[in-house]
């Protein structure tokens, strides 16, 4: 097996002329690229078994396996592999024919070094973009969303909050965090049944998501409890968001009044802000949970947080 840095893009240069291979390798030996060479098509295909190549630069005319066959083979194995073909000015039509086979672009001889680097840079950007899209699809497959409420789930919360905290520390930005709990939800379930309870949870999540900004993130933390992460948000702004969530939930009907009397619900919220209230992931959760408990102890349907060392409640 070949050793490589996983963060770098692997580039394979395929050409039966050694001076061409060495020239392109020298030109492309840059930060972010691992550059490999092969003297022919068969060698390139063999190397493909061990290395995941992001970009393949291949001459069109070579003995044995030519550039067209190489393009087909690499695209067959991984359709995202970006193939760039090398040709002489007199053979541009051949290059255009290979583009129809799935090649991304062509480089003409004699080489213009700046053009070579620009084409490869664009190819690298394309490859990274394709992989970002693919990663988003993988995240969906890993079920980062809660199946009932379609907010983010607890597993994704455990990944996201530490990452957002590190970003806040790095750029010296605040980060606020809300713990939201639906009041007397067990009683609601006991009276109206679990189907109505599930519907109410879904409705509550929609209200919470609709009450925050696009950069903010809402997670189903567990049961009837939700976590809200507010990046780059100072405490006064976080309290404004908490008030809006609380007001919007209190105005929402959680049962269809055509079937039975209108049912309203209330919520309790604990708020905490980095770095004034907590320095790490654990402290942020513990303190927000502490203030949520205070909100419930004081009678529910309120927001609790700390200001200048004192516990504050807002009804």
Known catalytic residues are 224
The answer to whether the beta carbons of residues 53 and 70 sit under 8 Å apart is no
**Is 78 in a helix, a strand, or coil?**
coil
**Separation between Cα atoms, residue 261 and residue 155, nearest integer Å:** 37
Contacts 24+ apart (CB under 8 A), 163-168: 164/229, 164/231, 165/274, 165/280, 165/281, 165/284, 167/231, 168/231, 168/232, 168/274, 168/275
**Separation between Cα atoms, residue 261 and residue 267, nearest integer Å:** 20
Cβ count within 10 A of residue 100: 9
**Separation between Cα atoms, residue 199 and residue 196, nearest integer Å:** 5
The answer to whether the beta carbons of residues 191 and 185 sit under 8 Å apart is no
* C-alpha pair distances (Å), 142 with each of 37, 139, 146, 154: 36, 5, 11, 13
> Which residue bears the tokens 């003995």?
63
The answer to whether the beta carbons of residues 288 and 218 sit under 8 Å apart is no
**Is 162 in a helix, a strand, or coil?**
helix
**Separation between Cα atoms, residue 139 and residue 150, nearest integer Å:** 14
């Amino acid at each position: 097996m070949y050793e490589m840095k996983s963060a770098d893009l692997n580039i394979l240069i395929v050409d039966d002329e050694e001076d061409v291979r060495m020239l392109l390798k020298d030109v492309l030996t840059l930060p972010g690229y691992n550059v490999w060479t092969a003297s022919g098509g068969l060698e390139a295909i063999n190397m493909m078994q061990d290395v995941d190549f992001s970009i393949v630069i291949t001459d069109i005319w070579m003995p044995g396996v030519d550039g067209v066959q190489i393009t087909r083979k690499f695209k067959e194995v991984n359709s995202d592999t970006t193939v760039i073909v090398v040709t002489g000015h007199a053979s541009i039509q051949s290059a255009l024919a290979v583009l129809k086979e799935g090649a991304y672009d062509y480089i003409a001889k004699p080489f213009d070094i700046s053009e070579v680097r620009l084409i490869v840079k664009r190819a690298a950007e394309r490859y990274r973009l394709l992989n970002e899209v693919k990663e988003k699809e993988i995240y969906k497959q890993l079920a980062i969303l809660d199946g009932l409420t379609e907010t983010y789930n607890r597993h994704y919360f455990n990944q996201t909050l530490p990452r957002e905290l590190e970003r806040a520390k790095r750029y010296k930005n605040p980060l606020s965090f809300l713990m939201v709990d639906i009041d007397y939800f067990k009683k609601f379930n006991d009276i109206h049944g679990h189907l109505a309870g599930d519907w109410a949870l879904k409705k509550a999540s929609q209200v919470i998501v609709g009450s925050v900004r696009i950069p903010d993130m809402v997670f189903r933390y567990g049961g009837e409890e939700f976590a809200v992460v507010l990046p780059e948000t100072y405490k006064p702004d976080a309290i404004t968001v908490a008030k809006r969530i609380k007001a919007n939930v209190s105005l929402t009907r959680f049962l269809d009044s055509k079937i039975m009397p209108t049912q309203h619900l209330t919520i309790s919220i604990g708020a905490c802000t980095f770095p004034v209230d907590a320095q790490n992931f654990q402290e942020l959760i513990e303190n927000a949970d502490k203030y949520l408990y205070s909100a419930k102890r004081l009678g529910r349907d309120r927001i609790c947080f700390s200001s200048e060392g004192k516990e504050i409640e807002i009804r």
